[in-house]
Amino acid sequence: MCALGCTTTPPPPETIPTPGSLEANQLGPGDVVEIKVFREPDLAGVYRLGNDGEIEFPLVGAIKVSGRMPEEVATELRTRLADGYLVDPQVTVFVKEQNSQKIHVLGEVKKPGTFAFESGMSIIQAITYAGGFTKLAAENSVVVTRVRGPNDTRTFKVAVADIQKGRANNFELRPGDIIDVPEAIF
């Protein structure tokens, strides 16, 4: 219990994590894949993942694709096609459009917006896509918000000007990150 004069302050942002291996090709709603089965042109097709994350594939029916890597989807299709339909099917899944994985850049940048995530994407790359900082940007107070689950949101304070000058390591982004560039206080 708090006596008079107590204030509540939010916890400080977390420190910058070390870059991990990102799964940039993980599929999600809105992505477009092309599926081919060797020597079976009638089974080839292009599919857009709906909000349910599934596609309807000939002979197999509905298959969950969202949240999986293309290789996992190909393996499941091979297994299901081999179960009474084809002998040793060779299936490939190509990502034609990856619309589900984006990053968002807000605040004091010249062109705020949503940009396609790329494997190994850094905060410098994202700021560059957004046209760079405005004159009012607090370049060493950039905040990255990362939602990892329903009750797991993390924030990171990133000193982008220090990264640009070689005084700090670059910050690797993940799909869905929100980059907020605040206004400098004069």
pLDDT tens by residue, 115-139: 988 888 999 999 999 999 999 999 9
Answer yes or no: is 3 within a domain.
Answer: no
**Residue 67 is assigned to a structural domain of this protein:** yes
Q: How far is CA 156 from CA 66, 76, 108, in A?
A: 27, 38, 17
Domain that holds residue 134: 102-181
Q: Are residues 37 and 72 in the same domain?
A: yes
Q: Give 97-150 as a DSSP string.
A: E--S-EEEEEESBSS-EEEE--TT-BHHHHHHHTT-B-TTB-TT-EEEEEEEET
CATH code for position 38: 3.30.1950.10
Report field, pTM of the whole predicted structure over 0.85: no
List C-alpha distances in Å: 48 to 23, 52, 91, 102, 117: 19, 11, 18, 17, 18
- In angstroms, the CA 8 to CA 19 distance is 32
> Domain check: are 83 and 109 in the same one?
no
Q: Per-residue pLDDT tens for 66-88? A: 889 999 999 999 999 999 999 99
Q: Say how many domains are in the chain.
A: 2
